[in-house]
Structure 1
Amino acid sequence: MRTIHASVVLGAGLLAASAAWAQKSTIEAIEEYRAMLADGNPAELFEMKGEELWKKKRGPKNASLEQCDLGKGPGVVKGAFVELPRYFADTGKMQDLETRLVSCMERLQGFNSAEIAKTPFGKGEMANVTALATWIAAESRGQPFNLPQAHPMERNYYEAGKRMFFMRGGTHDFSCASCHGEDNKRIRLQDLPNLTKNPGDGIGFAAWPAYRVSNGQMWTMQLRLNDCFRQQRFPYPEFGSDALTALSTYLGVNAKGAKSAAPAIKR
């Protein structure tokens, strides 16, 4: 009986070790795959387009976006991305990078912000917003996130985003926290970072906008969050909705100190 018991224990130990080795090997292989993809990230093409759009005179007013204030003063791009979303006094709103860009396109260039908001991602002026956001994010690559929380609305949006993050609903009774509320969770081969705290440099909030290899598209943070709502079986929020801004505020504040890797590349 002792021999049988020892064999069972030894066998269980070998299985556990084998599983741990297999998991480690899989994770290492995925990281190698990501490193290979990052060499020549197609996001660079969107960066180039975004910089061109920033400087180009366009729209009914035939003006550029070079006087757009992203939170650090008119025309200042470097360091702006890692401090968004934030409160803007001129609009009286909390705005993320995308909604702030649309406001500038309307005020400086004469575009219709409502029409842009109704345009699907990847189409028309919305595609230009994605390119602009990609370039602006790239200008802050490697800088730590430090979203402001001085204004009451900034703190309110953080708390609203936190409640949304943990709110369960939909046909599957999911919340954001179902996937991203604990350490060491995975779906198939995909690691799921814990977004209730700083998950680390270039992870979670610090990795978007990103180029999605699986569909050949550039995804902004709003589109990424929309896909999370889809997986929860919720309806898509409207572009620029308070829900998306609140969630981004919660995630961005939690990522304080994490260095931005955006625009990154994803599977």
Structure 2
Amino acid sequence: MPTKQWLAAFALAGIATGAAAQKSASQAIDEYRAMLADGNPAELFEAKGEDLWKRRRGPKNATLEACDLGKGPGVVKGAFVELPRYFADTGRVEDLETRLVSCMERLQGFEGEAIRKTPFGKGEMANVTALATWVAAESKGLAFNLPQAHPMERSFYEAGKRLFFMRGGTHDFACASCHGEDGKRIRLQDLPNLTRNPGDGVGFAAWPAYRVSNGQMWGMQLRLNDCLRQQRFPYPEFGADALLAISTYLGVNAKGAKSAAPTIKR
């Protein structure tokens, strides 16, 4: 075989081998996740969240069973896949976590501002995460269908869209830098395109999730918070309009996708 033909054949073989190795690595990660999902530690947070929902707590010694998550007082099933949404009693668009804090404040007498300033994983904020995990689990397998009837819901969607594509920080990153097109990956991990419906249990439909790497349960507020940290944006406050807007944009884009939360992540 002439030298040029041999080199060409060698290059093609190298490309094929690289592609096969990459596919194999991706498949191995999928298999790893499948094994971890059998006995997901998130189940412990689910159990804690259900107990917290039904237990009398706070200065008012009351339960959260009268909390309206958007489908009527006490109705949990199906609520998660319709959040964030506008709530007339607070005059705000709220996601699951911020709505839970509003209910803890109104029904149980907790100081909402104190909870919002508590670090993730600590004190009542840890309880908010557990509650969110249980509420999300009650809607597993249901399709996302965020309401967009109220002007504020539509406004938050449009603001979230602009924030998703806004570049900034020391690295000139945007959410779209990682999640704005198909076929991207980082550290052998596929990065879903979140500008459109990524499918069942992907992106917005996968959180809350248990993070194996740090042994923590993460809600969407913390997930977005960490994304902004990696973009080198300023640290957002819990329940910030920017976080709610991005969640609204992602949630509306996920319409029809079935929730898999709580899932398990690396």
| TM-score range for the pair, normalised by the shorter chain length | over 0.9
- Measured after TM superposition, the shift of residue 6 of structure 1 is 2.0
Is 2:118 the partner of 1:114? no
Match of 1:197 in 2: 196
Distance 2:102 2:252 in 1: 23
Alignment partner of 1:140: what SS? coil
Alignment partner of 1:20: what SS? helix
**Residue identity opposite 2:112 in structure 1:** S
Match of 1:222 in 2: 221
Match of 2:17 in 1: 18
Deviation sequence 1:111-147 (CA, Å, 0-9, x none)? 0100000000011110000000000000000111111
Match of 1:180 in 2: 179
- Measured after TM superposition, the shift of residue 4 of structure 1 is 2.4
**Residue identity opposite 2:6 in structure 1:** S
Is 2:92 the partner of 1:80? no
Count residues in correspondence: 266
- Measured after TM superposition, the shift of residue 9 of structure 1 is 2.2
Alignment partner of 1:261: what SS? coil
Match of 2:144 in 1: 145
Identity score, percent: 80
Distance 2:96 2:106 in 1: 15
Deviation sequence 1:57-115 (CA, Å, 0-9, x none)? 11111100000000000000000000000001111100000000000001100001000
Distance 2:251 2:14 in 1: 40
- Measured after TM superposition, the shift of residue 12 of structure 1 is 1.8
Is 2:248 the partner of 1:245? no
Deviation sequence 1:25-59 (CA, Å, 0-9, x none)? 00000000000110100000000000000000111
Alignment partner of 1:234: what SS? coil
Distance 2:2 2:181 in 1: 40
Is 2:111 the partner of 1:135? no
Match of 2:159 in 1: 160
**Residue identity opposite 1:80 in structure 2:** A
Match of 1:209 in 2: 208
Is 8-17 or 245-254 further displaced after alignment? 8-17
**Residue identity opposite 1:249 in structure 2:** T
Match of 1:56 in 2: 55
| Aligned residue runs from structure 1 range 228-239, under 5 A | 228-239=227-238
Query: Where does the alignment leave 5 or more consecutive residues of structure 1 unmatched?
Result: none
Deviation sequence 1:143-184 (CA, Å, 0-9, x none)? 111111111111100000000000000000000000000100
Match of 1:170 in 2: 169
